[in-house]
Amino acid sequence: MRQSLVVGNWKMNGSIEANRSLIEGIKQNITSVKNSEMAVCPPFVYLHQIRELLKDTSISWGSQNVSQRDSGAFTGEIAISMLVDFGCKYVIVGHSERRSLYGESDELVAEKFAKVQSAGLIPILCVGELLEEREAGNTETVVKRQLDAVLNLQGIASLEKSVIAYEPVWAIGTGKTATPQQAQDVHAFIRGQISALDAEVANKVQILYGGSVNGSNAKELFTMSDIDGGLIGGASLKAEDFLAIGQAG
């Protein structure tokens, strides 16, 4: 049985006060979440605050991005060693907003994935197709290309210590969730690709779904056999919604 995992991707949202109240709200009712590991990924500047708020709880934290480089003259970048310093467990790599708005290529995402693993943290590798790619029947080709970039650089064994998040771009922030069956089909495809190389790794790797998940649709999605939890944007900013999603795991 794979452990359910629910990760909040706060994106560029939050403030010291809003974070405090959100985390307090989550902590207050965290015992209502029985079967999911819960994690939050705030903006970098709040990692210190979040670490303080979450120490001695069962809730994990991580970051939304990382540099592929170790240190040096890279203005505005954040190194993996800094994320280790702040106790991060997870690092999201290849979110579609990074790919589309900041030009991150499959190869760069694979380098970041490698960097995260080299420091002993767990990469959450995001994959997913654009609406026009889905409509052209290219969903599997796109997802396979994104996955292969990591496999080519890091090999199949690397996936055992990683999480994959399938996030169809057309479902992100649109209120238009993939149907449970649409999501399950792609998750099964991803697991099948991995299984063709190593059945044991395929059986272990958590594959999360992301894209307009909320407290009302999470259960339906998470009961699908290849969906092991969610990567949550908007609904992770409200304690009640985030907890309801955790309870669905």
Active site residues: 95, 167
Nearer CB in complex with ligand 13P: 43/69 = 43
For position 42 contacting ligand 13P by CB under 6 A, the verdict is no
Q: Does residue 228 contact residue 5 with C-beta atoms inside 8 Å?
A: yes
Least CB distance from residue 196 to ligand 13P, whole Å? 27
**Helix orientation angle between 139-154 and 180-195, rounded to the nearest 10 degrees:** 40
For position 213 contacting ligand 13P by CB under 6 A, the verdict is yes
Enumerate residues 145-184 that contact ligand 13P by CB under 6 A: 167, 172-173
Beta-carbon contacts of residue 41 (< 8 Å; ≥ 6 apart): 7, 8, 9, 10, 61, 62, 63, 64, 90, 92
For position 233 contacting ligand 13P by CB under 6 A, the verdict is yes
For residue 78, give the 3-state DSSP assignment.
coil
Burial class (CB in 10 A: 0-12, 13-18, 19+), 144: middle
Interface with ligand 13P (CB under 6 A), residue total: 14
Q: Does residue 41 contact residue 127 with C-beta atoms inside 8 Å?
A: no
Enumerate residues 8-37 that contact ligand 13P by CB under 6 A: 9
Nearer CB in complex with ligand 13P: 171/201 = 171
For position 234 contacting ligand 13P by CB under 6 A, the verdict is yes
Binding site for ligand 13P (CB under 6 A): 9, 95, 167, 172-173, 210-213, 231-235
